[in-house]
Structure 1
């Protein structure tokens, strides 16, 4: 399996910001997960819409349930209508509940990850039956610029995160990502390259010798920060050249793969044409 490789192997996405903080990384990975699931026909609509629809259904069900218990005097026809609607909502909630709960758990894991690792280097999204035998692989590499922590833990979406997510999705679409898909539900696995001392056992398991099939050609994105002046570009380039060997050694020796415990299984979508 190829590692980071040269910049030519990646589609570069440049940010005007001086650094990529934990919140930006969180939203880039989350939006990439949503893109992969939707474009490969694992969810019926974009993840943001699904989350909103699911929350709305849960709220409506509680309101109908409360209305039935509190209303002693109500027409039989109205009660039947309420009960029928509650059954419909319950079926839909049951259909997507496991997926939405897994997405929520994965988001929690991502937030904890970026708090623990302020300079996340690489995240991999693997779609298929297992991580070592994938159908599609998406690699996200981050060149942070100035390294900073996620601060107060505010994960509201900034303009920088919104812009980078849009650029990333446009770049993937331009490379035909998601143009062909497995006709049926499959699994999405998330892995992160982190220091071997990284310790979140409730969310991530170490996979030191992880490799996937060499037959798979991954989609690769590199997120970079734009420096303020040309002199800083030159200095950064010189530093990278001087320390490239040491950096590669440090990555290979001290950084290993960790697999997220929360695996998202796609839905069996009705009415979607098989490719």
Structure 2
């Protein structure tokens, strides 16, 4: 079975989960480590604006999808992303209650996506969605294949990241398949050019978010704190390093998100989440 066939065979199941963040008193929920917690918190801040952008980008081409399976998958993709948005809004509200300027950073993120929405065409929005979905798919794969990354996390936070990773993996081919269908297989140069632009903007914006979050925990002036954060990002566990190591696969002319078949990991993680619920 080739990658495109695997993509069409996947059942995308929106799971309407709710997480009890209001019960958590600790700010540093990941093993008491402020820097590992901060990495995930920074990513969470970007999700509501990003996932609304993804929904709009795919929805713009719903009428152009001729394949019935892909049409159904696109609807499930949007449902999953809407639920992710809702839960990460609640997650980020809890960050605000812990003294992090999550609302301000969300507004800045929203402004970036709104700028892109008015500046570029619908097909460029979809290409950007494909690029960002590649980042989330790689991050999801790390979380699903390395359970020790969240082993000492508070249960509510561990579960939202596991839930999110399962669904991001499940729908990782949808935006790409919509793009391929709309472009009739001729969109390679737009796809890779967009990835280069998105990568620069993503890393720049995450740098801004991490700087503010360090300020919020009173660590921005500490060289030691910056080194510890960079170690969490690029050393160990090195989430950004691992993402960037797999980033280059996107530039292969015949690339498809399901070239990396992680269906077994999905089943294992789904079972773990059910038992942990």
TM superposition score normalised by structure 2: 0.33
Give the number of the structure whose residues are more often strand, by fraction: 1
TM superposition score normalised by structure 1: 0.33
Rg larger in 1 or in 2? 1
Give the number of the structure whose residues are more often helix, by fraction: 2
